[in-house]
Amino acid sequence: MPTPTTYAPAKQFVGVANEVSQGTAVAMTATLLLDSFKPKDQPKFLEDKAWRGAMATDSFAQIQGVATAEWDMGGPVFLDGIGYLLRNIMGDLATTGTSTGSGGTTLAATANPGAATLSTVATIPAGTVVQIGTGATAEVFTTGTPTGAGPYSIPLASPAGGLVYQHTSGQAVQPVTGPYTYAWALLNSSTGQPISHTLTHMLGPTAASGARQYPGCVASELGFKWNAESDLFTFDAKGQAWPSIALGSAPVANPGNTAPVPSWRMAVGIGGPAAGGTLVPTVTDGEVNFKREINPYFTGNGVQTPYIIQRAGLTVEGKLNFIAADESALLYMLNNTQPQVQLLLSNGLAGINAASITFDFAKAAFVEAEPDGSKTAVEYGNQFKAVLNTTNAGGSGSYSPCKVSVTCNVAPGTY
């Protein structure tokens, strides 16, 4: 008797890649390190129940209509991979690097969005990683071979696509290195639609490759949780996609080298940053939850797949549980002070190994504060909602509920 064919779930993995066009699958470029992934194809079935003189109420035919897929994932937060999901649900991205301290120059002329070349006062050698601008519109590129005798023409070799933001004459062009800081805010420019992703699931049973792809992935929820006593910093996410397709050849896992971070490293700031006089040392655990309304649209174009999976508004809220040293947790709600709330989790390393994530809410409205006298110490369980503000806005302007920044040594253009 031949050995039965089976597949071990322990060998599965999930890959991710940025899409150029929503719903057009692309090969995975990174591995998302998860401990849960539940995809589900969901074609709709249309029933033929036209009367035929039979004593039955079942359908005479099941006709396949339009199709989508759902996905649900979770696991520890790996700071070199979570950026894909933050970009998917928020959209706006600024990138800054660590200055090398030398070789800087300035723009000799305004550079517009889409430009693949800069005009600079001083030349920059080919292969230099440079940061253009600062703050919410900062961008990082690797340069090509310069030309000219001053001002100089500096090609932006990678990432592809040219500048995202406008940079006026005189702005700094500074050589940088890793680690890099990626700051996500709510995308408000153009159509307001963030990038979509292809997820590749290597599970085993699929012929030839063992894997299926889920193109056009759009996140509807992204949640983060921590508990200083017992847990790693973790996340869960879910959303929709185009229906799955069989991959032609087997993908290869390529996990990064960063480790997940224990929750006891979380620092909480209220009324200011998570440091100094505004550091609150009494928070035991908490959550941050992003929710975005999404909707697949179908049109009469001869295909079952969506015309688009459209994003609508984004909301962000959170929970913080306090050991009660006083009534501060209650008064945040009663006085409606709406303070800045900042959450900072760092791996504690230095140099290119440094990695951290910061959630910054310029205004947070505490809408619930419940005292708990049932444990060994009095506690308060608080819930807050992000208040839209311009301080957290990104380069696309308008308002944002918060800004999330991740520092890691991932190459610019990855997300």
DSSP 346-358: E----GGG--EEE
The C-alpha atoms of residue 25 and residue 15 are separated, in whole angstroms, by 12
Token pair in block for residue 292: 């975005």
Query: DSSP secondary-structure letter at 276?
Result: G
> Cis omega before residue 151 (within 30°)?
yes
Please give the pLDDT value at position 67.
98
| Beta pairing partners, 152 | 120
Run of H or E residues at 88: helix 83-89
Q: Is 388 exposed, middle or buried (0-12, 13-18, 19+ CB in 10 A)?
A: middle
CA gap 312, 332 in Å, rounded:
30
- pLDDT (tens digit per residue) in 54-99: 999 999 999 999 999 999 999 999 999 999 999 999 999 999 999 9
Q: What is the pLDDT of residue 5?
A: 94
Q: If the chain, 415 residues long, is cut into consecutive pieces of 10 residues, what is the mean pLDDT of each piece?
A: 91 98 98 98 97 94 97 98 98 97 96 97 97 97 95 96 96 97 97 98 97 98 97 98 97 94 98 94 98 98 96 98 97 98 97 97 98 97 98 98 98 96
Neighbour-count burial of 276, counting CB atoms closer than 10 A to its CB (0-12 exposed, 13-18 middle, 19+ buried): exposed
Nearest-angstrom CA–CA distance, 247 and 167:
41
CA proximity to 343, closest of 233, 271, 267, 234: 267
State the Cα–Cα distance between residues 121 and 128, nearest whole angstrom: 16
pLDDT for 276: 86
pLDDT at 108: 97
Q: Which of 82, 36, 84, 75 is nearest to 196 (CA)?
A: 84
Contact in structure between 139 and 165 (CB atoms under 8 Å): yes
